[in-house]
Each structure stands twice: as structure tokens, then as C-alpha cells.
Structure 1
Amino acid sequence: MASYKEIFPNAHAVLPVIHVETTSQTLRNAEVAYQAGANGAFLISMQGMRHEDLAKIHETARKEFPTWWLGINYLDLPTIKVFDNLNSNISGVWVDDAGINEWVEQQVEAEKIQQARESSGWDGLYFGGVAFKYQRHVNRLEVVAQVATRFMDVVTTSGSGTGSAPDREKIFRMKASIDDRPLAIASGISPDNVGDYLDIADCFLVATSLLIPGTEDFDKSRVKDLIQAVRG
């Protein structure tokens, strides 16, 4: 299995998140992200789409972009069930709750998820939600981040809600505790504020700030601006 750094060798990776509505809308937005130079993209449904249908749309997108990194987030499945619904065409999976508990030594839930991953034989990148929006509150950020590195490829965190940027101190504390392991931010990043995090985060999963208001479609200029802001 290729590591995060082997797949994304540069200092930062930008992975726009496509809010999937239809196949054609997904392909249209994937093309925008691809042409802008994004490192890849995640597909997610914010409107209750079944994971089977999301997987079919991902399969179609894979045919259109055979070598591009394309991940998925199944919001309708508990984390432990996610790995039963992945295949070799899915480059990565992102879950909002990786099951890390700051107050226990034995990480029972995370270990079960790890077993499910290993049993599935899937070899993509696992982005696990830690101190993530709408999940259990975390007090000891350093502890959960460090523990999380035992169970996932990319420690993935967020602000307090969709579209909310995380506190810089939070990101600093988490990154400082995991050394050179990758840390991803999955909410609140925009072309205007990403510069505040370039020295303390490795990967950016971005949707809200890139959308044309009132739609689930990317604004081409916003995507380009984000890529430019990250790469300089």
C-alpha cells in the first residue's frame, strides 16, 4: 500500500469535496477541480443518497479520470461498515468519526474499525475524523491526535461546523503531537484563509467556500484561487 507521502509528495495536497447530486453534476465539478490542478477529489452526498448510488457515481467518475485520485465519504454508513463497500477504484475513504476515545487506553472501537479495514483487503488511504465537527467533544487534542496515528493514514479534523474554520491553536496542537504524520483539515478552508494553516497542516478538504452561492457547483475561479494560494 502506498503511503500518503508517496501519493502526495508535495508539501500540501488540495482535495476539493464534490457534493454529489447527479452523475453529470459530479463529472462537471470533477473536471473543474482536475483542470485547476487539484491533487484529487472526494465525493460525498449531503442529501441522503444511498452509499450504493454514490459508489456507482464514483465508478463513472473513475472511468472519466482513470489516474486521478478519487476518494469517497459514505455518510449513511457507520464507520465499521464502510470498508465492506470499497474497491480498488476508490483511492481513499474519509469518515467523520474514527472512534478515537481520549479517556481510555484500549481503543476498542478504533481497533474494530482497523480489523474491518484489514479484513476488507482494501489498500487506499484512510482519512479518519478526529476532534471532528458534530462528533464527541475532545479536551485533550494532543492525546487523541497521537493515538489516532496508530489507526489511520491521515488524521482529519475540522472546525465546529460545516464551513467553519478551525481554531489555529487547535491545528497547531494536533500537528505538534504527530510530528511528520499528515494532518488534514476538512471544514472552513477558503482561498482567503488557507495561508493561515500552510505551516501546520498538510492536506485541505474543501467544499463550501468553492461553491457558487445557492448551488452545489464549484466556482472555477475560486478553485483556481485556492490552488494558487496553496502553491504560491
Structure 2
Amino acid sequence: MTGRKLGSADIAALLRREISKGTFRLHDRLPASRQMADEYGVARNTLREALAQLEVEGYVNTRAGSGTYITFREKETNVAPLEDTNPLELIDARFALEPHICRLCVLHGSRQDFDLLEGLCDRMEEAVDDPVAFAEADTAFHKALAATTRNTLLIWIIDQINTVRSLDEWTRMRHLTLDGAIIKKYNAQHRQVLNAIRLREPERAANLMKEHLETARLSLTRAAET
């Protein structure tokens, strides 16, 4: 791997890739936790945190006394309507949804949800010099916020919005906008949003999310003008 000790976010990312590419299929049971912890060279607590993250994201379900089973279904997405969506339209759509998502996180979030978001903030902060790794963790953070609402329709809509981030135009804009300075600013804003959610301050969390999205929109607008 990288030579550094793997954390729960790293293990979740590895398992997510294995599940997405079909190494583990729907309804398969994962190997025993002790076996998996040994395979990845991590403590069982680290593995449990990774599986909890994947459960929030809908990849697995852990049944007491039985094991952990794959629940991920590959979505059939009609990409055609999304291909003409530009990054600024993406931000506008997020403006309409994510501030209220933060309010719902305050209402429905658990300590486990907040710990997952904390781990993703850590992951983003470790990626100041790696825009690709930051973007992956950033997407996971916003998806985890949606998952915390427990609202299946909102979760689905955010999934559709995030499909745009894999398209060529978004990739080009990411290269233009993501440098160390803007990543640090985004990281500070993510922390502020999470702290407001933890403190159960819904309107403050919503307003901080608006500020974060306004920063992203300004950055994209400037890049589009170059």
C-alpha cells in the first residue's frame, strides 16, 4: 500500500472499490471480521468503523450474530440528462438541497454518523496536496451528510447530483480550482458545518453550508472566466 497505517476511511475506500467492481456481490457475506482485520493489518475496531461507514452509505448491512452482508445494488442511471449539466448548475442544485440536509442531520444524526463525518474531515485534511484524494473524500462527506438524513429520496437525488462530478467538464474544473489554498478553506468550512451539526444548531449549520457553497460557486465562476 502506501507504507502508512491504514485508517477506517482507507479500509472503507478499499472495500467500496471491491464491492463496486463486483468482487463482492449483492447478498454475499463478507469474511469474518478477525480475518479481514488480519488481511488489512488493522485493529478490529478500525475495521468495525469502516463497515459502519459503508453501512451508512448503503453498501453493507451487519446482522448481529450472523455477519456483514452486501446490500449494494449497481444503479442504472440515465446519464444523458446529466451530460449537459455544467458545474455551476450543479452548485445551484446543491444550494437548493444541502442547507436543509444539514438541518435534517441535526434532527436525525447519531454519534456514529458524526464520527463518520469526523473521519471524512480528517481524510480531507490529509489531502491538502492531493486534489484527487480530496475530491473523493469531499464527495463522500456530502454523501454521508445526505445519508444521515435517513431520507431515501434526498439520498437518491444527491447520488444523481454527484454523478455530474465524474463527468469530463467537472474533472476539468476541478483541476482549475483545487489548489492547496482553496482545499484548506473548504476543509475549515467543512469543520464548521460539522461542529454546528454536532452542537445541534440547525440554522447555523444551514447558513455555514450556504457559505461553503457560495465559496465553491465563486471559485468555479472565476475558473470559467479563464
Q: Same fold (TM over 0.5)?
A: no
TM-score (norm 2): 0.30
More strand by share: 1
More helix by share: 2
Larger Rg: 2
TM-score (norm 1): 0.30
